[in-house]
Structure 1
Amino acid sequence: MSLGKHHRLWVPFIFTVWSVVMIVSMFGNREAHAAGIAMSLPNSSFEEEGASIPNWNTHPTFGTSTATVSNVRAYTGSKSMKMVDASSSSSLARVSDKISISPTEQIAYTASAYAYIEQGSVEVYLVFYNGTTETRVPPASVTPTVDQWNKRTITAEAPAGATEVAVMIYSGLASITTAYIDDISIGKTVKNPGFETADLTGNWTVSGAASSTTAKNGGAYSLKLDDASSLAASYAESSNVPVTSNARVSAAAKVYIASGNTEVSMHLLFKNATGTVIKEVENTFSGTTLQWIPLTISATTPNVTGAKTVSVYFTTKTTAVTVAYVDDVTLDTPIEYNLGTQIVNNPLDGAVFGKDASSSYDLMYVGSSGYPSKFVVYDARTGELLDDHDLDQIEAVWGMTVASDQSVYLGTANKRALYRYVPGTVSVNGGVKTITGSSLQKTTLDAGLNVIWDVTAGSSGNVYGGTATDGKAFLYNPTSGATVLNGNQAIVSGLAHVRSIAYGSDTEVFMGMGPTSNATIIRFNPTTGTQSTISPSGYGSTYVLGLDYIPNGSDSKLFAKLSSEPLIVINPTTGGVDASLGNVDSIGVSSKHPTDDKVYYTKGTHLYVYDISAKTQTDLGDVGGKAAGYTFVTEAGNTYLYAALSSGKILKYKLGATPIIDTSISFTIPDSPTKIRSLVKGPGDRIYTSGYLRGGLSVYQPDTGKLTRNRGAGQAENMTTIGNNLYLGIYPGAWIKKYDTNSSWNDTTNPSLLFQDIAGSPNYQDRPFGMLADPASNRLYVGSVASSGKLSGSFTVYDLTTSTRVTTVPDIVDDQSIIALAYKNNKVYGGSSVYGGIGSTANPSVTEGKVFTWQTTSSNSLPVPQFVPVAGRKVISDLIVGPDGNIWGIAEGNSSTDPSRNLTADLFIFDPNNPDAAHTTIYANKFTSSGNVSWQGGKMVVGRDGNVYVTNGGKLYAVDASSTTKDAVMLVSTGVSLLTADANGDLYYVKYETNLYKYDK
């Protein structure tokens, strides 16, 4: 809604303004560009605040109602400007500081802002100043979209003599408004970009071109390019816009080719002070469209003395008679937007129970993965939250235990971090419980103890822990600190993980080791360092995922959760197995009941009890969730089992002739951001992200800014799409799932399971990094990394029409993982990594990543054709079809032949008709690399402007595909990973692990 509609006294003035200033307004969805060649606008995203809003001023005419800096919403960063106009008889405005402009520049100015409107309307004005004379340029009237971020823009030329410009954000006289404003920009752009001034004289230089009303994308006019013959091209060139050297510039337009099967090209012409072109870049569209299509182009201003201006130039070719239309031209400085955290989770990683410092209150402690992970303390009987801690830069809490001194210990997934929580005293004030006097302390263990898989409490306040990646265990005492056991050596040479640990006595600690070919438990004496092996035969488990030691006199037991699924009950003295309990999915088992010879656990949502003496189990009924931790509590002479359930309930169970199941008490784990693991453009031109460790699938809609967060589905290592379906490759177990985006999300049925990549020995698979869909054949291609301890990846072809697996080729590249796939002309090209699953040791003879070829329409003989595209490189991290029709790839990983190249990555390009080393061109050391890449490294996408965009080593690059040397320009210098693009050609990537960023080109 415009000022003219709501502020009736200003109607005559607006008509006057319209008559003296040429105006082009662009007021559409958030993807409208018109940011212009950026000019500095202080505090444009309202991250600074003070007594007023720094650099934003009230307007004497339009009222001074409430406007403040708010942290409730933000398009980027953490703050925005909140505007509250509660009156229908007054207005509200804020005006930016003035920016100096040159009256002699023959350009237009464009302003934009992101608005989240809860009610009412806000508008963006350009305000020009000539001394004390103020000229306000209003936007076109639009119907506001509420409850989502929208980009609001306006473009206009300055009136004669104007020397300053500002941006005004306005809420009209009759409008009752609540809105948030963020990321305001102002810039310089070409004159008459929408061709709404029909006379092109003075703003476009044309030949065989004119304004037209026949076809237009917006407004009433467009530019018509009309070749009267095939001998002369038609062209149009915009006004010149000032630029600085070494600055990125993008242009976009909509093009409609009405006749002629030829080309329309869009150029950026960089010029010096005399108007001589010193650099020209071009993007061309070929073919008759009969519809409006976007055409974009990006380039960097030459870093040479004398680079002064840039213009946008359109031309047809002389090979055919052509009629084409151009509309809505934009010229921009690309802007990087932080779209924020996409995925949040609050999983119940584990729970333990203890007492507060006064021993008066039973406490429940919960660990929850995220980035950062959470440690939360509750009243175990009521579920009230008493304490909440972020574990900075920690991804997950793997192990928890309560020591004999009632301290709580947390073993974490990274940073070698062991936490000790000393509980304080619970008190009640005004009916509200608080805990005071608590402390959380962090100990960083020695190098090599990178992942603390499990912790267990011993005597005298001691705690034992099992770690990776050096296969070591430690003893921690709050007074003397950490001591690495076994003389600072691995518990078992060659086994990288002490995956689980249980305390039996000061001379007997049990450790579940891996990876192995059969379940292996080490009985270790911390005093003498002696050890022996318990290895139940016939289970074929790579790991012992969990261990619980249940003291029971001469009939003590070990409960061992195996990676091959069963929970087995072991006699630790003989090593014999008393029972094999299938489908147990709880986190561990309870301690022995205080008066009965029984242990509790869950399967699905059912509570079970195991009778140690009888060696039998009994289903006790549905409790509504799986258990993550247990304790026994005595109330009024009765003993109750308490358990923290995945459903967010606290189970209170009384064993007896009439059992009581009480799940009436709830607890809530605070949400925490989740790292982004994979990123794709999926159905509906939406941006899909999947979460690391605890999964979750979030959906960002570029056209509306709406973010939808779905929980569950698992951690997708990669995703791909056909039509309305998104296909997810889930870790662990290489589960391939289909999400029908036209149907409601339901973690149990949608996404649905299609198949599991090789699940049987010896080719267990875990991580489907290679995900490729071919719409023409309706087939899915999957390349995967093997499970822990295994080397051989696999390649699978799945027919989506018949829902059948066509073939699976184990070890298609000997002892290598398959992590990248591309399709061209009935062939799939796969890229490999010499690195296998976690804990595997690379085959010494396998030192270089390879590319293989798979025929999709004819039979394949094994071994399939394969070659090393770049000598010495260990990982082929990505493959795509480039803009030239060739296959482009990234080769990286520590070089086996030249260590000086360890921190770089190579671009290579080969002819798909001749996929071999002889037909491969290598552009060495083209990008920065982290060097320690194993599975997930650089990513590429072809831009609508013909450039290839690359993320690698935390940086974003643009590669000029048309140059013979494939020149690369760094666009973003730090924190970047993954990459995709939307239909407009704007780029999306992950930055700093959890946030989705947009590079608005």
Structure 2
Amino acid sequence: MFVGTYPGGKVFKYDPLTSKVTDYGRMIGAVSQEYIRSLAVIGDNIYSGTGHGQIVRYNMKTGEKEDIAKSINEPGHIYDLEKVDDRYLFARFELSSNGYIYDTQEKKWLDVTVPNVRGLHVEEQSLNNKIYFMSTDNKLRTVDLSTLKIEDTGIEYESGFRGVDWVEFNTPELPGKSLVTINFSGYVTIINLETKKVTRLPSLVQSTPTVMQAIEKGPDGNFYISGMQTAKGAQYNPVTGKVTSFNLGQADSMAPLGDKMLMGVYPSGDIRAYDPALPPSDTNPEKLFVLGESQNRIKTISSGGGKAFIGSIPFYGELGGALTVYDPQAEGEKYKVFRNVVQDQSVVGLAYKDGKVYGSTSITGGLGADPTAEEAKIFVWDVKNEKKISEISLNVEGIEKPNLIGELSIGPDGLLWGAVKNAIFALDPETLNVVKSKKIYPDGVLPADAWGSIDLKWSNGLLYADFTGGNLTAIDPKTLDSKKITNAYSFSIGDDGDIYYSLGSNRTLLYKIEVDPISKIKPIHITNSSFEMPLMNGTVPGWTSMFAADSEVQYSLSGEQYSKGIQSLKLVDASHKKSVALMSTPVKVNPGDVLKAETRLYLKEGLSSLMLRYFDSNGKEISSTPVHTEAGYNSWQPVTITAKAPERATSAKVLAYSTAYATTTSYYDNVKLSKLILKK
């Protein structure tokens, strides 16, 4: 067995018969962090595909080394390196997706560049002197080792090859030779060359839960959870307990922007937007853009002034992260990437206030790149003029030249709060002078982390900080007294003030800590909440129809079903392109109020929805929190929404409706609205 390592960049051999290990040492040995990403062994030579654009040939007898990829002159990982016919090397470069073929006998590269190659493997034996490989557009193609001609087989497969080999089944359905592979989800696939049919077999093993990467509360009050090294994300409703999964990828960071949830996905460094008002689909989440500029890890996303601000870490082997500004309302180009805002440093923390973005950095770039800076920085970015207006070293007592400054946050007191190593601090956002600071943990207790920016969140007058090693800590911002709560890998806080988190020891489970229980519920009057008042001029008193009714979308007061009194509100929607929606009269609110909307719903068919919507003083919608119900037919069931009034909110309304994509026959009764007074 031959093994390549990171971060040492070594290769060693293990003999299972003798248990002997032979260490061949570092293949490059130029920088402190080096990747051996792929390996092939032919004869006495080990070929190591590295993370630095090199393919090192190492002779086990003589110890001689040579970079055979020098003439190719491509950067990045040689992600795949496969031997074919015990003679050829098929190499794929990750950044370009270019494939190259090396003849180990002639010691030369064949005169062909194979474009758009998809990983991870090709078969070890060619067929009729042809290598079969998957392309990035999901097509099975061949390259002829004699003529170097590239051809399309006319067969499509939705993934790359994760291990692939020839199998002869000798059945009428599978004549001749077939390629057999397995995909990321464990499904075995048979690709028959003669029939050109692709057959997917059930997974051979039971699936296991996804390891959670990030947890973040969305604009709808639901939690959004991304998985690590997985293709799935999830929406979790803390009221109903319902989990809705969707295709995503590994999102390292998430944040709300307006009524959508933004997600930064690794390793392509792209930004996606999930719309809670729509069901998951191939376009929800929607892929908005790819950062480019050699960025691939989205470390932080913050929003303000209608824009999103994105901090990122560059590719392997590179220094120089970026600040990206995304403006969904901009005409023309909607995002701009500003690399090296702090030279050779990554952007790991961001906060917005009054037209300025405050950023924090890490001196660490992509894996395999040695830092050149001595200390992390805090910078200020002028959003309107698109330029950095300040950059400082952090002057916190007892902390000298930190490698990383954690997440930043504007506190309720207007100060710029942050964390570094084992300490918390607050700066004056105008002068950047330290107003207060304190070491929360003793020196040497917390583990070091190159990128692990310390996550900060506010709730009910407390600051929560998740220090490295999963030390979730509650801090009184006035006294800086603190208490460790639990070991949390990732966490978020619900509208009810409860903490939702994953444990570092088991990130497949979502945990909850109840915080600050409600001490009082104050009912809020809604006109005609039980729909007992008769129609007036064809309208429901106290409720406004948002759309015109016709033969397909209608509302009425009905005695067919009711949970209280003698009638209820009936909605009928027979169109996938129209909506029926009734909205209550507005009630006054203040920013920060936590409202709870409830109703009794009788769902006869389809999908029906309840929404709590907040408005500003001009009657403009600020935020909407919906709950969609498509289960529990033919019985009355409770539906509940809890949502916090955002900044500038002056009023709220409750909506009973059917979305444009859904159809329904449903009944609403006994609508309630209340203000939750939280215990201090």
C-alpha displacement at 1:628, in angstroms?
2.1
Find the counterpart in structure 2 of residue 938 from structure 1.
Answer: 454
Cα distance change of structure 1 residues 584 and 860 upon mapping to structure 2, 3 Å threshold: closer
Deviation by residue 1:63-94 (Cα, 9 ceiling, x = unmatched): xxxxxxxxxxxxxxxxxxxxxxxxxxxxxxxx
Does 2:478 match 1:962?
yes
Residue 485 of structure 2 aligns with which residue? 971
Contact 1:497/1:513 (8 A) holds in 2: yes
Q: 1:779 to 1:703 in 2, by over 3 A?
A: same
Task: Using the TM superposition, give the Cα deviation of residue 819 of structure 1 relative to its aligned residue in structure 2, in angstroms.
Answer: 0.6
Asked if structure 2 preserves the Cα contact closer than 8 Å seen for 1:938 and 1:977, the reply is no
Give the aligned partner of residue 204 of structure 1.
Answer: none
SS at match of 2:125: coil
Query: Which residue does the alignment assign to 1:392?
Result: none
Larger deviation, residues 533-542 vs 543-552: 533-542
**Residue 983 in 1 paired to residue 495 in 2?**
yes
For the 8 Å contact 1:850–1:867, the answer to whether it is kept is yes
Q: Deviations over 1:406-460 (max 9, x none)?
A: xxxxxxxxxxxxxxxxxxxxxxxxxxxxxxxxxxxxxxxxxxxxxxxxxxxxxxx
Give the residue type in structure 2 aligned to 1:560.
A
Give the drift of 1:836: 0.9
TM-score normalized with structure 1 length:
0.48
Pairing 1:119-134 to 2, within 5 Å after superposition? none
AA partner of residue 815 (structure 1) = D
CA distance in 2, matches of 1:962, 1:750: 42
Q: Take 1:698 and 1:668, find their aligned partners in 2: how far apart are those partners?
A: 24
Among 762, 784, 792, the alignment partner of 2:312 is 784
Distance 1:865 1:473 in 2: 42
| Structure label with greater radius of gyration | 1
Residues 281-306 of structure 1, C-alpha deviation per residue, up to 9 Å, x if partnerless? Answer: xxxxxxxxxxxxxxxxxxxxxxxxxx
Matched, 1:569 2:89: no
How far 1:593 moved relative to its partner? Answer: 3.7
**Whole-angstrom distance in 2 between the partners of 1:653 and 1:989:** 43
Which of 467, 470, 474 is the equivalent residue of 2:5?
A: 467
Pairs within 5 Å for 1:193-342: none
1:523 aligns to what SS in structure 2? strand
Check the 8 A contact 1:874/1:891 in 2, yes or no: no
**CA deviation after TM superposition for structure 1 residue 806, in Å:** 4.9
CA distance in 2, matches of 1:994, 1:634: 40
Structure 2: tracts of 5 or more residues without a match? 516-680
1:825 CA drift (Å): 2.0
User: What is the CA deviation profile of residues 688-719 of structure 1, one whole-angstrom value per residue up to 9, with x for unaligned ones?
Assistant: 11111224211211111222222x32111111
8 A contact 2:379–2:388 mirrored in 1: no
Out of 415, 436, 452, the position equivalent to 1:886 is 415
| Cα distance, 1:957 vs structure 2 | 2.0
Distance apart, 1:560 and its partner CA: 0.2
Q: Does 1:841 pair with 2:353?
A: no
Residue among 206, 216, 236 paired with 1:680: 216
Question: CA offset at residue 830 of structure 1?
Answer: 0.6
Aligned residue for 2:439? 924
Residues 311 and 347 in structure 2, CA contact (< 8 A), matched pair in contact too: yes
Matched residues in 1 for 2:490 and 2:260: separation?
21
The aligned residue for residue 509 of structure 1 is 46
Within 5 A, what are the aligned runs for 1:331-410? none
Label 1:852 to 1:569 Cα distance change in 2 as closer, same or farther (>3 A): same
Distance in 1 separating the partners of 2:457 and 2:200: 51
Which residue in 2 is equivalent to 1:481? 19
RMSD over aligned CA atoms reads 2.4
The separation in 2 between residues aligned to 1:782 and 1:978, in whole angstroms, is 19
Deviations 1:595-614 (Å, cap 9, x if unpaired)?
x2122122243222221111
User: Alpha carbons of 1:949 and 1:567: their partners in 2 closer, same or farther (altered >3 Å)?
Assistant: same
Counterpart-to-counterpart distance in 2, 1:937 and 1:530:
43
2:363 matches 1:851: no
Residues 695 and 878 of structure 1, relative CA distance in 2, 3 Å threshold: farther
Give, in whole Å, the separation in 1 of the partners of 2:219 and 2:180: 42
How far does residue 886 in structure 1 lie from its aligned partner after superposition? 0.6
For residue 769 of structure 1, what is the aligned residue in structure 2?
A: 299
Percentage identity across paired residues of the two chains: 26
CA-to-aligned-CA distance 1:773-820 (integer Å, 9 cap, x gap): 22xx32111111111011111111111112734532211112111011
1:497 is aligned to 35
Q: Secondary structure at the match of 2:220?
A: helix
| 1:506-585 equivalence runs, <5 A | 507-514=44-51, 516=52, 519-537=53-71, 539-551=73-85, 556-564=87-95, 565-572=97-104, 573-585=106-118
Distance across 1 between alignment mates of 2:342 and 2:66: 38
Structure 1 counterpart of 2:117, one-letter code = V
Q: CA deviation at 1:649?
A: 5.5
Alignment of 1:747-758 (within 5 A): 748-757=282-291
- Where do 1:416-435 residues align within 5 Å? none
TM-score by length of 2: 0.69
Sort the Cα spacing of 1:580 and 1:864 in 2 relative to 1 into closer, same or farther, 3 A. farther
- Map of 1:620 onto structure 2: 153
Return the letter of the residue paired with 2:284. N
Counterpart CA distance in 2 for 1:925 and 1:811 is 31
Aligned residue number for residue 321 of structure 2? 793
Q: Which residue of 1 aligns with 2:509?
A: 995
CA-CA distance at 1:856 after TM superposition: 2.4
Please say if residues 408 and 418 of structure 2, whose CA atoms lie closer than 8 Å, have aligned partners that are also in contact.
yes
Using the TM superposition, give the Cα deviation of residue 470 of structure 1 relative to its aligned residue in structure 2, in angstroms: 0.2
Contact 1:536 1:576 in 2 (8 A): no
Are 1:509 and 1:523, in contact at CA under 8 Å, matched by a contact in 2?
yes
Cα distance in 1 between the residues matched to 2:179 and 2:21: 34
Which residue of structure 2 aligns with residue 907 of structure 1? Answer: 424
**Secondary structure of the corresponding residue to residue 561 of structure 1:** strand
Conserved in 2, the CA contact under 8 Å of 1:485 and 1:526? no
Contact preservation (8 Å) 2:502, 2:511: yes
User: How many angstroms apart in 1 are the aligned matches of 2:465 and 2:322?
Assistant: 26
Count of residue pairs brought into register by the alignment? 498
CA distance in 2 between counterparts of 1:806 and 1:605 reads 29
Any gaps of 5 or more consecutive residues in structure 1? 1-462, 893-904
In structure 2, distance between residues paired with 1:664 and 1:497: 34
State the Cα distance separating 1:659 from its structure 2 match: 4.5
Alignment deviations for residues 289-324 of structure 1 (CA, whole Å, 9 cap, x no partner): xxxxxxxxxxxxxxxxxxxxxxxxxxxxxxxxxxxx
Hey, what does 2:139 align to over in structure 1? Answer: 606
SS in 2 for 1:970: strand
Contact kept? 1:504, 1:551, Cα under 8 Å = no
Q: Over residues 553-574 of structure 1, what are the superposed CA-to-partner deviations in whole Å (9 max), with x where a residue is unaligned? A: xxx3211010121111223333
- Mapped partners of 1:970, 1:535: distance in 2: 52
Counterparts in 2 of 1:28-177, with a 5 A limit? none
Alignment-mate amino acid for residue 419 of structure 2: I
**Cα contact 1:744–1:750 (8 A) shared by 2:** yes
Cα separation, partners in 2 of 1:511 and 1:489, compared to 1, 3 Å: closer
- Going from structure 1 to structure 2, the CA distance change for 1:884 and 1:662 (only over 3 Å counts) comes to closer
Matched letter for residue 466 of structure 2: T
C-alpha offsets along residues 165-219 of structure 1, whole Å, 9 cap, x if unaligned? xxxxxxxxxxxxxxxxxxxxxxxxxxxxxxxxxxxxxxxxxxxxxxxxxxxxxxx
Rounded Cα–Cα distance in structure 2 between residues aligned with 1:780 and 1:812: 17
Matching residue within 644, 657, 667 for 2:181? 644
Q: Which amino acid aligns with 2:380?
A: T
Distance 1:667 1:961, change over 3 A: closer
Distance in 2 between residues matched to 1:703 and 1:930, nearest whole Å: 35
